[in-house]
Amino acid sequence: MEEASGFKSGFVAIVGPPNAGKSTLLNRILGQKISITSKKPQTTRNRILGIAHNPNSQMVFLDTPGIHKASKPLNVRIVDVALATLAEADLILFVADASSARPEAEQFLITKLRSQKTGAILALNKIDLIKKPKLLEAMDGWARAYRFLAQVPISAKTGEQVDVLIREMEKALPEGPPFYPPDSLTDMPEKFLAAELIREKAIRFTGQELPYAVAVTIDAFKEDGRDNMVVIHATLHVERNSQKGIIIGRGGKKLRQIGRAARLSIERLLGCKVYLELFVRVQKNWSRDTRALRKFGY
């Protein structure tokens, strides 16, 4: 299908410090959840692609893990994923937390931006948490730290000013036809998205007890045409026996809670009934094991 002259399309890398709300913003723009969220930093571990279809543009977003100085093997790989994504983009969308924005503390990120030829737009997120004087102070600080194409204060949680941000991004993108068909939302396999939703629930329901020591693999993903159901068997991998106990909970209560919430989210994603069975396995120090990191897709 031929697009009208003036149609814009391009790849937008979403970057920023940990816990700035990048995944929440992507889900808000797409109108559907494809990137998992939590209040804990480094929840996103892989590059997630999401496609937004607008009347005058198609934006292909690349949601990335939070960029930070890393030393542990898992975190090094996470940051490498984020930095590699910058080279693929036509535009960089830098998301910062306006309620705690300290440009001077983000020099690592600013340095990485300066090494790129790609233009960047700043989305100052979480404006629902601060008053106007503090917001103006944050905007002034970021303006001194880096020359962005535009600064847009937003709230990914409430949707405030996200439409303004979309218009600014459209201005910065090149003209061109869409890259994906109009019904495309992501290029991530359903198995990957299911594993991510299970990991999200494990992180959320274990609070501060199990921050980052869990990975998820899908052992079986089968469609049962007779019952219009998808049958999923998944394993949650942890590093210590004590962590296994936390995930299972007394009498298996916590694991059932995780499974129930994950199943409902996966059903919303797939649009059909899901039978989900979870297992828990101890794989000692997997986050420091190069072979294990490869196995789990990092």
Q: Are residues 157 and 202 in the same domain?
A: no
Q: Are residues 139 and 41 in the same domain?
A: yes
Q: Are residues 60 and 195 in the same domain?
A: no
Q: Are residues 117 and 60 in the same domain?
A: yes
Measured between alpha carbons, how far is 197 from 194 in angstroms, rounded to an integer?
Answer: 5
Residue 92 inside a domain? The answer is: yes
In the chain, % helix, strand, coil (3-state, to 5) comes to 40, 25, 35
Q: Are residues 38 and 120 in the same domain?
A: yes
CATH number of the domain that 213 lies in? 3.30.300.20
Number of H helices and E strands in the chain, helices first, is: 9, 9
Q: Are residues 200 and 112 in the same domain?
A: no
Do 82 and 64 touch, CB atoms closer than 8 A?
Answer: yes
Of 141, 172, 203, the last residue of a domain is 172
Cβ neighbours for 82, distance < 8 A, ≥ 6 positions apart:
15, 47, 64, 65, 66, 67
Q: Are residues 55 and 149 in the same domain?
A: yes
Q: Are residues 27 and 162 in the same domain?
A: yes
Q: Are residues 14 and 156 in the same domain?
A: yes
Q: Are residues 102 and 159 in the same domain?
A: yes
Alpha helices, DSSP H, located in the chain:
22-30, 73-86, 107-114, 132-145, 162-172, 190-205, 241-248, 253-270, 290-295
Cβ neighbours for 212, distance < 8 A, ≥ 6 positions apart:
40, 42, 74, 287
Domains contained in the chain, number: 2
Q: Residue 243's closest CA among 293, 286, 274?
A: 286
Residue 183 inside a domain? The answer is: no
Residue 225 inside a domain? The answer is: yes
Six token digits for residue 276: 């989900």
Amino acid 41: pLDDT = 44
Residue 30 inside a domain? The answer is: yes
Do 119 and 78 touch, CB atoms closer than 8 A?
Answer: no
CA angle, 66 then 67 then 71, to 5°: 110
**What are the pLDDT tens digits along the chain (298 aa)?**
444 468 999 999 888 877 788 888 988 998 876 665 544 444 444 556 788 999 999 999 987 765 545 545 555 566 666 666 677 789 999 999 888 766 555 777 788 788 888 899 999 999 999 999 999 988 998 898 889 999 999 999 999 999 999 999 999 999 999 998 888 887 777 888 888 889 888 888 886 666 567 888 889 999 877 778 999 999 999 888 888 999 999 999 999 999 999 999 899 888 889 999 999 999 887 777 777 667 766 5
Q: Are residues 153 and 265 in the same domain?
A: no
Residue 256 inside a domain? The answer is: yes
Q: Are residues 78 and 118 in the same domain?
A: yes
Amino acid 79: pLDDT = 60
- Report the predicted TM-score, pTM, of the whole model to 2 decimal places: 0.66
Residue 127 inside a domain? The answer is: yes
Q: Which domain holds residue 200?
A: 190-295
Three-state DSSP state, 70: coil
Of 139, 172, 205, the last residue of a domain is 172
Q: Residue 125's closest CA among 113, 111, 139?
A: 139
The pLDDT tens digits of the residues spanning 2-29 come to: 444 689 999 998 888 777 888 889 889 9
Residue 182 inside a domain? The answer is: no
